[in-house]
Amino acid sequence: MFPIGMEDRLSPQWKYPSPVGGDYRWGYDPNAKIDFAYIEVVNSANNPINVSLNRLLEIDKDLDDGDINTGRIRLSGLNVTYFVR
């Protein structure tokens, strides 16, 4: 499902499972000081995340800071969060 007001701004791919499995979800925290908008890939029964932890670490190392607890790409349980700046 597209975030309200973003229907004409996001790729149609938004409504399909991500390449690593899971469903996309838009997040927004107006109280955050820096990272207030984020895209989350959420594990679900219909679309489980199907990538190993080692691969997620490689992705984080290639695209971010190499630590899945900090930076723009973070892992929380089975969900992957990408903070938009």
Task: Give the domain extent around 58.
Answer: 12-84
* Structural domains of the chain, count: 1
The CA distance from 45 to 41, in Å, is: 13
- What is the pLDDT at residue 15? 82
Q: Rounded to two decimals, what is the model's pTM?
A: 0.77
Output the CA angle 83-23-61, nearest 5 degrees: 45
Instruction: Quote the tokens at residue 41.
Output: 């890939």
> Is residue 2 situated within a structural domain?
no
> Is residue 43 situated within a structural domain?
yes
The CA distance from 53 to 46, in Å, is: 20
Q: What is the mean pLDDT of the chain?
A: 87
The average pLDDT across 40-60 equals: 92
**% of the chain residues with pLDDT over 70:** 96
> Is residue 34 situated within a structural domain?
yes
> Is residue 64 situated within a structural domain?
yes
Q: For 24-45, give one letter per residue: b (16+ CB within 10 A) or e.
A: bbbbeeeeeeebeebbbbbbee
Position 54 pLDDT exceeds 90: yes
Of 78 and 35, the structure prediction assigns the larger pLDDT to 78
